[in-house]
């Protein structure tokens, strides 16, 4: 197994041979797995590619291969191959020159062939960002070599769950003395849509027109006085706001005349299309169309397996006096603390300090007078903001940190009943509903224009007959008299080094300012204007693959954050499978080769070997959506089990190597899930029908328990850096050429930790407060140990609490559970072996086929479940 995470820079330049190959391209293989492909050259005996790739590697292999393939309409056979032993490159020296190819098939009759390449390997320890945190990476914490640059002077609001109840609105004091308060996502989103005057642009996997974003606590959803989302969007379009939306087209859904079928994924796409038909809302239902030049097999796979999974709402709101249109500024949700004026006087900074304080206090006072927490003025130019992350605008997503199972079925969840994990579940048969935990965010400043740029690229590629809607392009937006467009928002190739003195959108002096960067998984079949290699794709952080250009910067962002981390990593994700090349079995499954899981494991192992405190916490759903006894869900769980087993083997090997006999792998790498259990209360919803006898539905209902479905897509590193987006940790989301995805990476430059090793100061930033808020939601407490997640004491306390909750969850006694965090139900041996938990080989309340470790079914393509 590998012991370090590294990178390999190289490229295929030119090939000589004695025959014209009609459609030749080169693939780069690390061991048995393909990691890169060139574009396709046509009808030449001496094809030249001149492409370069940066390949992140974490592999135990003996050679690096280069294959010449001939693209045909049914596939791509290998016509020539060569390999370089890993021993030649591990020194870090450049390996360059012509290398003889072994030619196969009819091409072999035409004599010798050779390939010119250049390759160089860089060990991870040589990376200047390795183990440095964001603070140790110089003036910029940007992920290098990706499409979108880092944007400085931004603003970020993080949300856990769709809405926040008052009892969970816990205020926290940060390191700068300011206060942090959790915000409520859908309350903020509805308020922003109502304020829009110029545009509302929506991208979604699913959008439900009947959704009510805000709800009275004791009122049924459809009885709320306010408009539904669909009604609100039509209302804004009638007011002259440009409303454009792109929703994924589930091919299994049908609406022809009176014939309707909701489709396998129940996304409401056909309902949404019909609702907005004939209105001023431009609603485009978008298929995941493949590149027309791909082979027939690849086109079928892309068009039928993969989705448009991005989730964003981009819109304008009133200008505010803390932005470029006014002076001063205050971060939303923060209250200024009175500084130490005597200390400032001694330091010669009295005038500057009192001036800053007066401006912050004035802005905070104005801010408090606004219902949505911003200091706004209709006399100022309007600004662009965006909401993005993991929460779809559809049924089943409305939830609070309580994550009720039964108690809200006759109030806020009446008419919004969602239960996709129990066969035959329906509102008229009662609970439990499927609780929903998710992460979302709102971004402001130059970063919002990058999300706008993504929308425009997709619209121009996919809008089809709706192109006549003509959303504002960047040039028109710049000259729109109502919109403020910061200079550093224009163009993805800008060198945004962030000189604070020249920034128009300047929150820089405020301690709450953010640096934010946008990442994507997308290719040129879904986005207009991605450059080909000849137009500089490599220079813009893109790679080419046959006829298309691919952006997989989300995977690069995750790897970069993991490698930089010093103290701990905290991950929440709906899916967790990958690095199949390192699995202990089924290594070539579905080309599920993204390296995020093995990077996490190797990071933990490296810290163990360095004898430095470190912990990695990973929160997953108990099982992925769908009935857990069904084949598709079982196969996903099987791939997840192989991923976890690979990781624990690496961690156990590191513990053995350093002789840490008093430690176990779960002291450093911890997997959790969430569950809830509710005792009956007076006034609960009484269903008119009952579930079938002896069914999983009946057992869940009688036990009054169910998992809280974790749909988040988030990583926190050291309480300094956060990634929030739509991307799962699987190949579909990380590959760039499968599902389309969005994510942002963000940090606060004035809140970074300082020092090295034991001298590291723990950052008390908004990210720290957000993680503490999440852990309070999951554990129902704010323990002092949670301040230092890297400590052995914290890891063991989390594990102890989660084990107690698991025992309460599986107990036959029906009572409220004290908190939601539970150990994932597996047994990890000291040697890293992963087994089913004795007595709990099957998920509670489900039939014997619902195995905790999953099972392979082999009846569906691996690429569908990876």
Beta strands in 773-832 (DSSP E): 821-823, 826-828
* Tokens representing residue 848 in the block: 């014997």
Catalytic residue among 282, 311, 429, 851: 311
How far apart CA 739 and CA 196 sit, in angstroms, is: 30
How far apart CA 865 and CA 524 sit, in angstroms, is: 24
Catalytic residue among 249, 718, 766, 845: 718
For residue 308, indicate whether it is catalytic: no
The 8-class DSSP code of residue 131 comes to T
3-state secondary structure labels for all residues of 215-243: CCCCCCHHHCCCCCHHHHHHHHHHCCCEE
Say if residues 734 and 521 touch (Cβ distance below 8 Å).
yes
Beta strands in 326-468 (DSSP E): 376-377, 383-389, 436-437, 439-444
**C-alpha angle 845/846/852, rounded to 5°?**
105
* Tokens representing residue 609 in the block: 């070997």
How far apart CA 49 and CA 26 sit, in angstroms, is: 9
Residue located via tokens 């990781």: 647
Q: How many residues does the chain have?
A: 866
Catalytic residue among 152, 212, 711, 778: 711
Strand order in the sheet with 6-16: 53-57, 6-16, 114-122, 95-100
User: Which conformational region is residue 100 in: left (phi greater than 0), alpha (psi within -120 to 50 degrees), or beta?
Assistant: beta
- Phi, psi for residue 324 in degrees, rounded to 5: -70, -20
Residue located via tokens 């989301």: 733
Say if residues 387 and 726 touch (Cβ distance below 8 Å).
no
Beta bridge partners of 388: 312, 441
Catalytic residue among 713, 764, 778, 851: 713
Beta bridge partners of 439: 160
Catalytic residue among 268, 309, 440, 768: 309
How far apart CA 409 and CA 431 sit, in angstroms, is: 8
* Tokens representing residue 580 in the block: 């199949």
For residue 309, indicate whether it is catalytic: yes
For residue 316, indicate whether it is catalytic: yes
Q: How far is CA 295 from the centre of its chain?
A: 30
| Residue 335 CB neighbours (<10 A) | 18
How far apart CA 714 and CA 576 sit, in angstroms, is: 12
- Phi, psi for residue 412 in degrees, rounded to 5: -65, -20
683 exposure class (CB count in 10 Å sphere: 0-12, 13-18, 19+): exposed
For residue 711, indicate whether it is catalytic: yes
Catalytic residue among 21, 209, 316, 719: 316
Q: What is the dihedral of CA 637, 678, 787, 804, to 10 degrees?
A: -70
Closest CA to 855 of 840, 836, 838, 837: 836
Catalytic residue ranges: 309, 311, 316, 711, 713, 718
């Amino acid at each position: 197994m590998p012991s370090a995470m590294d990178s390999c820079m190289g490229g295929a330049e030119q090939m000589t041979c004695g025959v014209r190959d009609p459609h030749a391209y080169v693939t780069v293989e690390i061991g048995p797995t393909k990691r890169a492909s060139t574009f396709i050259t046509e009808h030449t005996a001496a094809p030249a590619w001149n492409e370069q790739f940066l390949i992140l590697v974490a592999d135990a292999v003996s050679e690096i291969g280069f294959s010449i393939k001939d693209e045909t309409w049914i596939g791509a056979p290998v016509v020539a191959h060569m390999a370089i032993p890993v021993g030649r490159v591990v020194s870090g020296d450049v390996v360059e020159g012509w290398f003889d190819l072994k030619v196969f098939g009819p091409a072999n009759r035409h004599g010798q062939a050779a390939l010119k390449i250049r390759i160089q390997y860089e060990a991870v320890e040589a990376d200047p960002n390795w183990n440095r945190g964001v603070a140790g990476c110089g003036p910029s914490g940007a992920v290098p070599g990706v499409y979108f640059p880092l944007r400085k002077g931004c603003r970020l609001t993080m949300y856990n769950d769709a809405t926040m109840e008052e009892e969970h609105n816990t205020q926290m004091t940060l390191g700068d003395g300011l206060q942090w308060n959790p915000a409520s996502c859908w309350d903020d989103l509805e308020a922003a849509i109502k304020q829009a005057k110029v545009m509302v642009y929506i991208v979604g996997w699913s959008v439900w027109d009947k959704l009510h974003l805000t709800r009275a606590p004791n009122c049924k959803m459809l009885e709320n006085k306010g408009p539904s989302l669909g009604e609100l969007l039509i209302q804004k379009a009638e007011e002259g706001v440009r409303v454009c939306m792109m929703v994924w087209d589930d091919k299994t859904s049908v609406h022809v005349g009176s014939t309707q079928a909701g489709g396998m994924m129940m996304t409401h796409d056909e309902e949404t299309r019909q609702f907005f038909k004939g209105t001023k809302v431009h609603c485009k239902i978008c298929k995941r169309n493949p590149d027309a030049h791909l082979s027939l097999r690849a086109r079928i796979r892309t068009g039928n397996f993969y989705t448009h999974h991005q989730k964003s709402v981009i819109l304008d709101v009133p200008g505010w006096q803390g932005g470029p249109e006014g002076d001063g500024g205050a971060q939303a949700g923060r209250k200024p603390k009175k500084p130490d004026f005597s200390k400032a006087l001694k330091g010669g900074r009295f005038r500057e300090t009192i001036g800053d304080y007066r401006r912050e206090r004035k802005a905070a006072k104005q801010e408090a007078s606004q219902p949505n927490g911003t200091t706004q003025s209709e006399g100022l130019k309007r600004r662009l903001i965006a909401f993005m992350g993991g929460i779809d605008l559809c049924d089943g997503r409305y939830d609070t940190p309580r994550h009720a199972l039964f108690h809200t079925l006759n109030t806020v969840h009446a008419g919004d009943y969602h239960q996709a994990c129990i066969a035959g579940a329906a509102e008229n048969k009662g609970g439990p509903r499927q609780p929903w935990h998710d992460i979302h965010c709102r971004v402001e400043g130059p970063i919002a224009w990058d999300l706008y740029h993504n929308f425009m690229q997709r619209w121009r590629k996919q809008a089809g007959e709706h192109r006549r809607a003509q959303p504002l392009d960047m040039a028109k937006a710049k000259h729109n008299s109502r919109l403020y467009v910061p200079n550093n928002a224009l163009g993805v190739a800008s060198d945004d080094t962030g000189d604070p003195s020249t920034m128009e959108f300047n929150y820089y002096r405020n301690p709450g300012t953010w640096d934010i960067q946008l990442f994507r998984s997308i290719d040129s079949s879904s986005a207009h204007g991605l450059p080909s290699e000849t137009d500089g794709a490599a220079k813009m952080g893109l790679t080419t693959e046959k006829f298309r250009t691919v952006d997989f910067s989300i995977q690069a962002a995750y790897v970069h954050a993991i490698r930089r981390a010093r103290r701990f990593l905290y991950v929440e994700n709906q899916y967790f499978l990958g690095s199949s090349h390192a699995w202990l079995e089924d290594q070539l499954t579905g080309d599920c080769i993204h390296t995020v899981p093995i990077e996490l494991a190797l990071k933990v192992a490296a810290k163990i070997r360095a004898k430095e405190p470190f912990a990695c916490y990973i929160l997953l759903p108990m099982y992925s959506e769908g009935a857990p006894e069904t084949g598709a869900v079982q196969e996903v769980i099987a791939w997840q089990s192989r991923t976890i087993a690979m990781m624990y083997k690496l961690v156990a090997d590191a513990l053995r190597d350093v002789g840490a006999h008093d430690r176990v792998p779960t002291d450093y790498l911890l997997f959790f899930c969430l569950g809830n259990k509710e005792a009956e209360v007076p006034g609960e919803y009484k269903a008119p029908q009952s579930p079938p006898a002896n069914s999983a539905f009946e057992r869940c209902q009688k036990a009054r328990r169910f998992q809280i479905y974790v749909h988040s897509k988030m990583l926190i590193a050291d309480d300094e850096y956060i990634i929030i987006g739509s991307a799962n940790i699987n190949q579909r989301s990380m590959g760039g050429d499968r599902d389309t995805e969005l994510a942002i990476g963000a940090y606060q430059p004035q809140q970074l930790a300082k020092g090295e090793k034991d001298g590291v100061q723990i950052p008390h930033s908004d990210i720290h407060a957000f993680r503490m808020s999440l852990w309070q939601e999951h554990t129902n407490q704010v323990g002092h140990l949670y301040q230092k997640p890297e400590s052995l004491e914290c890891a063991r306390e989390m594990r102890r609490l989660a084990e107690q909750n698991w025992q309460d969850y599986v107990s036959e006694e029906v009572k409220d559970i004290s908190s939601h965090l539970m150990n994932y139900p597996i047994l990890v041996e000291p040697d890293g072996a992963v087994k089913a938990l004795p007595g709990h080989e099957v998920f509670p309340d489900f039939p014997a086929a619902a195995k905790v470790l999953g099972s392979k079914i082999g009846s569906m393509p691996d690429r569908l479940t990876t």
